[in-house]
């Protein structure tokens, strides 16, 4: 994808789901750039960066997920980018152990979301009634 191209095209082309974060999570990209994590999975992350990146650019990615704490440090390659700083970064050197930690964190976050929903509504699944 070319710089300046809409990220919606990237979403259509993405083969795997990315988990939306419910808390503000900062990311450091190399030494002089940073931003906010928008969503992630064990293969990559979408970021709103301060300074725009270029497709195929390699960067060092560092961020920390909370509750439970998972520190992620990896080399990544920009797969798509816009001139406004939105981009997708594919992890290049994620260890199997860190991959499991990210997947476990996402699973826990999904369960927390279900729990919060059930507390607000009083149930997890709506029961179908017969009329």
At residue 68 the predicted structure's pLDDT band, cuts being 50, 70 and 90, is confident
Q: If you average pLDDT over residues 74-80, what whole number do you get?
A: 97
8 A C-beta contact, residue 88 and residue 7: yes
The pLDDT tens digits for 87-116 are 999 999 999 999 999 999 998 888 865 545
At residue 7 the predicted structure's pLDDT band, cuts being 50, 70 and 90, is low
Token code pair at residue 69? 């704490």
Residue with tokens 């083969």: 15
8 A C-beta contact, residue 42 and residue 102: yes
The whole-number pLDDT of residue 121 equals 54
Report domain 7-121's class. mainly beta
Domain ranges for the chain, please list them: 7-121
The pLDDT tens digits for 8-46 are 544 444 456 677 888 899 999 998 999 999 999 999 999
8 A C-beta contact, residue 106 and residue 64: no
Tell whether the model's pLDDT for residue 67 goes beyond 90: no
């Amino acid at each position: 994808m070319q710089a300046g191209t809409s990220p919606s095209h990237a979403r259509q082309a993405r083969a795997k789901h990315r988990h939306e974060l419910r808390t503000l999570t900062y990311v450091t990209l190399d030494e002089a750039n940073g931003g906010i994590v928008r969503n992630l999975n064990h293969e990559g992350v979408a970021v709103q960066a301060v300074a725009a990146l270029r497709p195929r650019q390699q960067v060092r990615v560092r961020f920390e997920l909370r509750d439970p704490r998972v520190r992620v440090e990896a080399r990544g390659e920009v797969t798509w980018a816009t001139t406004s700083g939105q981009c997708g970064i594919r992890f290049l050197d994620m260890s199997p152990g860190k991959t499991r930690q990210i997947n476990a964190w996402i699973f826990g976050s999904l369960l927390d979301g279900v729990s919060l929903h059930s507390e607000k509504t009083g149930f997890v699944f709506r029961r179908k009634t017969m009329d």
